Amino acid sequence: LVLVAMGVKPCSKIAKEAGLDIGIANSIAVDKYLQTSDNNIYAAGDCADAFHLVSGAKCWIPLALRANRAGWAVADNVCGTQTGLQGVAGTSVFKVFSLEVARSGLNFKEAKEAGFDPVENNVKTRSRAQGHPGSTPIHINMVADKKTGRLLGAQMVGKEGVAHRINAVAVALHNKMTVKDFSQTDLAYAPPFGPVWDPLLTAANQLVKKI
């Protein structure tokens, strides 16, 4: 069995022909109000770039929520209600056969390229309480800035309990939390859904030791 993932490219040809500024990966460059280099033209959806919440730099991450949110913002702006977007953390999840794979924020390489002093750890924990039927492994890689302790991102994979856990990381990134602060969050516990120490808390506790 051979799987080929070729990726996608932004459809920005019409913008180029109109003389608009083109951003990263040939996407259409917009400001936080989705305004292009021409004050009378807006761009939204997978064709437009965005600001990354963690690095602060321009990025092109074509995901459905961003596209929807940008479309609403453009409509507001055109109708006279000024609406800006904070940016994206690149939160995404997909399924590979029986595995859930998710990420939010920056990985180690991306964090280094963005000018941080990154440190990471990789932990293996369980999707449910120890001994609970159906428990499966969850692998988490968490990244932080060694100088400030700020949480920079996480990547997760497992058969269950991954898809929605990554949202907690996204919220932490939006609020620029440190790993230490994140390790103190009051996450829910019940044996069918996770161990007493949630996998994310376990990863954060171990990463704190490296900062």
What is the band of 183 on the pLDDT scale with cuts at 50, 70, 90? Answer: very high
- The whole-number pLDDT of residue 32 equals 97
Residue type, 114: A
pLDDT tens figures, 77-92? 999 999 999 999 999 9
Average pLDDT, the chain: 96
Are the C-beta atoms of residues 169 and 155 closer than 8 Å to each other? Answer: no
Whether the predicted pLDDT of 53 surpasses 90: yes
Whether the predicted pLDDT of 3 surpasses 90: no
What is the band of 133 on the pLDDT scale with cuts at 50, 70, 90? Answer: very high
Are the C-beta atoms of residues 37 and 17 closer than 8 Å to each other? Answer: no
pLDDT tens figures, 143-179? 999 999 999 999 999 999 999 999 999 999 999 999 9
Chain CA centroid to CA 159, Å? 20
What's the CATH code, domain 92-208?
3.50.50.60
Q: Report domain extents, the chain.
A: 13-78, 92-208
Write the burial class of residue 67 (CB in 10 Å: 0-12 exposed, 13-18 middle, 19+ buried): middle
Q: Which CATH architecture has domain 13-78?
A: 3-Layer(bba) Sandwich (3.50)
